[in-house]
Homo-oligomer: A and B are copies of this chain.
Amino acid sequence: MMVKQERAVRTRQILVRAAAESFARDGFALASLTMISRRAGVSTGALHFHFASKRALADAVLHEAAAALERTTCRADRAPDPLRALVEATHGLMDGIVGDAVVRAGFALSGDPARTRGDVDLRQQWQRWIERTLQRAEWEGRLAEGTSCAQIAPTVVAATVGFEVLGCRDPDWLTRRKIDRFWELMLPRLTDGATARG
């Protein structure tokens, strides 16, 4: 009985991963359940046992992607200060997009008009974390005179979303050097060059 349950959990995981690969490459509208079950090496009957619809599969992918993003930002929160947390989380996000089809699909689905919006939106989750972290930097007096979270956050969110969107199609956008360069341009402006580079 135990073995059977374990096998069901494993099959579910394989299906979510196969679905993520399809969603990331083809978008929600073109991804097909037949192709996903074939890619997973699982019968369509087994797929339907686990997931009632393509929509249910997309929701499962999104929930896993949201959990992965949450892990990335939690890890970054342990950095010695919020500005370093931003840099670390950005690298973690981009590594996730390059290396993990679930994260890649999660962001693609969050921006896909073919999927009517659900409760999980990875871009919004990312935006909220950026805003919270910059707010913390402001409260701790780490931002340059005259700058504030409200002034900076849209630029940081837009730039990182831009790297994410471009990188989903071409991983060359997500090299460590490009992301480092972005922060090298931004950080001194945010901090007057004082705290963040130390």
Residues of A within 8 A of B (CB): 25-30, 108, 111-114, 123, 151-152, 154-155, 157-163, 165-166, 169, 173, 178, 181-182, 185-186, 188-190
Name 25 interchain pairs, CB-CB below 8 A, sorted by A: A26-B113, A26-B114, A27-B29, A27-B113, A27-B114, A29-B30, A29-B114, A30-B113, A108-B113, A111-B165, A152-B181, A154-B178, A154-B181, A155-B181, A155-B185, A158-B160, A158-B163, A158-B166, A158-B173, A159-B162, A161-B162, A162-B162, A162-B163, A185-B190, A186-B189
For A28, the chain B residues whose CB sits under 8 A away are: 29
User: Are B155 and A161 in touch, CB under 8 angstroms?
Assistant: no
For A123, the chain B residues whose CB sits under 8 A away are: 166
Please indicate which of the listed interface residues A152, A157, A165 has the most CB atoms of chain B within 10 Å of its own CB. Answer: A165
For A186, the chain B residues whose CB sits under 8 A away are: 155, 185, 189
Q: Give bound CA distance, A182 to B158, whole Å.
A: 9
